[in-house]
Structures are given as structure tokens and as C-alpha cells.
């Protein structure tokens, strides 16, 4: 790449991976090569990298734990910036948690539980990172990350640090302002409530048991594949449309939970994409309801005409 030699001026060479297989970094276990996969060591390095990408007009994408993204078989032309373990510090004082965006939600929930703090039990089984959770207002079991947020620290395209109060983030169902303003979530301040440790742990255990019983956790997936349509449940619509267990290539609509599209047998990203589009088409034609992907698409996808 023409800009490869310049990257090393801004990022430690050890943080740079060239032609990185994205199936190593997504919960679907699919995806082609990213031109570059970079894991900044700290906020300063991240800021330099973001400013460089914007100055040079280089495509880049922020990736957390890769649990809600489908990467094309053709990979990604540009730079994947990975916000992971280097951004996972956490500080707990009284009922307030300040945590960096790379920490996994499960770990965060367990840290809260260990401090007898309640409010994050719903997040214990969500496989994403805190940054991804804020970005999409992740939730489960009638809880959402927006319920416990006080403020979020983020970085803009110039590498500047900006603090958003909760009310400025325009949270909605699987939505936050970060989906529109392209800021990078760095840190979140969370307010919880004191509780009994044993009860908090029991609630986490109950939620995790429910997940194991009802969800196809034994197969690669991105969790709930479709957003919940207003007034409906996606899984029920898909089952009513007769698509339970429907297969296309190596991808399948789970016969355990129809809201999950799974990588059943060495699926390609295109298999998963095409089965999602087929489900959307069938549900609309049979039931008149539009389904919308909850999973983010990264890279270029082509729709195959022959989907049987």
C-alpha cells in the first residue's frame, strides 16, 4: 500500500498486521483479509492514527470484539482499528464504574457483581465489548446499556476528546448518536446500585442458563441477527414464515432460536448475507413486515440470484 511506510510514523510496528484474516476476529468466524489490522496501544496512538487516516482519506473502521459484524469474503480495503485489551482499564468507586471501551461486557458485569453492584446483570452473557454496547445500545432481558450510563468519553475525527452526557446520546432501540457522528467510544461512566452479592450472582446465573437453554451458542453467530420490528418479535415472524432450520450453503436459520442465523457448516460470509436477505424477503412477502439487520456489514457484498 502506498501509505504503508507512513503508518509506522504513528503506530508501533508491532501493533500493525498486514493482510489479516478477519475470520479470526468475528463471532461469525467468517471474513476475508483486511489490508491492515491495527491495535493501538493507547489513546494517544489511536488519536494519531485516526488523524492520519482522515488526512490521507484512508478508509478505516473501529472494531471491538467482533460480535455484531459480518465481514465480506472479499475482506476490507483499508484499516481495521481494533479497540481491545489495551483499552480495558476499570475503576470502581462506591456505586460508580468508569471503564474503558475495550473491556468485555461479561467481565464488566462480573466486576460489578464482585463489588455487590447491581444493574449490569443483563449484560453478563452479551459477548461484545463496552464500546460496541454503547455504540448500538446493546441490551437483553429488558435491560439496556443506556439504562446505567452517566456519560461517555469519545474521540472525534481530529483526535480530540469529547465528553457526552447521557441525554446527548439520543439513545433508542439499538441506536446511539455514535452511529451517525463517527466518534470513537473511549470510556463510559456507569452508575449502579448497591445490592446483595449472592442475589446479583444468582440473577447472572439465571440469565446465562436461559441463554444456554434457548440460544444456539454452540455455533458461530452474531447473536440476534435482526432488530425487533415494532409490535412484533423477529424470531416468531421467521418461524411463522416457515423458515425454521432453513439452510443456504453453510448458513442456517437456527432451529433452536429462529432469531439467530448461524454458521452451521463452514459458511461463507456471502452464505450468511444471502440467507439474511432471503429471510427478509420471505417475511415481507408472507407477513408484510420489514425486518432490519441488527448485524453491521463490513466490506462489499454481492447478492447471488439463485437462492434456493
Which residues are catalytic, by number? Answer: 174, 224, 294
- For 255, counting Cβ atoms within 10 Å of its Cβ (0-12 exposed, 13-18 middle, 19+ buried), the class is middle
Q: How far apart are CA 122 and CA 124, in angstroms?
A: 6
DSSP for 191-250 reads E-EE--HHHHHHHHHHHHHHHHHHS-TTS-B-SS-B---TTS-HHHHHHHTT-TT-EETT
Q: Phi-psi bin for 234: left (phi > 0), alpha (psi -120 to 50), beta?
A: alpha
Decide: 307 and 278 in contact? Cβ < 8 Å.
yes
Decide: 83 and 60 in contact? Cβ < 8 Å.
no
CA dihedral angle for residue 101, residue 107, residue 112, residue 113, rounded to 10 degrees? 170
CA distances from 222 to 26, 70, 100, 275, 296 (A): 8, 8, 22, 14, 10
Strand partners, 82: 63
Q: How far apart are CA 271 and CA 70, in angstroms?
A: 11
Amino acid at each position: 500500500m502506498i501509505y504503508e511506510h507512513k503508518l509506522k510514523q504513528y503506530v508501533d510496528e508491532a501493533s500493525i498486521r498486514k493482510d489479516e484474516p478477519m475470520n479470526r476476529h468475528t463471532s461469525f468466524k467468517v471474513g476475508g483479509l483486511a489490508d491492515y489490522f491495527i491495535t493501538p496501544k493507547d489513546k494517544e496512538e489511536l488519536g494519531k492514527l485516526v488523524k492520519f487516516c482522515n488526512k490521507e482519506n484512508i478508509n478505516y473502521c473501529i472494531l471491538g470484539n467482533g460480535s455484531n459484524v459480518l465481514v465480506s469474503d472479499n475482506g476490507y480495503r483499508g484499516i481495521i482499528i481494533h479497540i481491545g485489551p489495551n483499552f480495558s482499564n476499570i475503576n470502581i468507586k462506591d456505586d460508580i464504574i468508569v471503564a474503558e471501551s475495550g473491556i468485555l461486557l461479561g467481565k464488566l458485569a462480573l466486576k460489578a457483581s464482585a463489588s455487590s453492584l447491581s444493574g449490569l446483570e443483563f449484560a453478563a452473557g452479551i459477548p461484545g465489548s463496552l464500546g460496541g454496547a454503547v455504540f448500538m445500545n446493546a441490551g437483553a432481558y429488558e435491560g439496556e446499556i443506556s439504562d446505567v450510563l452517566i456519560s461517555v468519553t469519545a474521540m472525534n475525527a481530529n483526535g480530540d476528546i469529547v465528553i457526552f452526557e447521557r441525554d446527548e446520546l439520543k439513545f433508542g432501540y439499538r441506536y446511539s448518536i455514535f452511529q451517525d457522528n463517527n466518534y470513537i467510544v473511549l470510556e463510559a461512566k456507569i452508575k449502579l446500585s448497591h445490592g446483595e452479592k449472592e442475589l446479583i450472582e444468582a440473577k447472572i446465573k439465571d440469565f446465562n442458563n436461559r441463554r444456554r437453554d434457548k440460544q444456539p451458542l454452540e455455533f458461530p453467530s452474531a447473536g440476534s441477527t435482526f432488530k425487533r420490528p415494532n409490535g412484533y418479535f423477529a424470531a416468531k415472524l421467521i418461524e411463522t414464515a416457515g423458515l425454521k432450520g432453513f439452510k443456504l450453503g453453510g448458513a442456517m436459520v437456527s432451529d433452536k432460536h429462529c432469531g439467530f442465523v448461524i454458521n452451521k457448516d463452514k459458511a461463507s460470509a456471502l452464505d450468511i448475507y444471502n440467507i439474511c436477505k432471503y429471510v427478509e424477503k420471505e417475511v415481507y412477502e408472507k407477513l408484510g413486515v420489514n425486518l432490519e439487520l441488527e448485524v453491521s456489514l463490513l466490506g462489499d457484498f454481492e447478492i447471488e440470484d439463485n437462492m434456493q
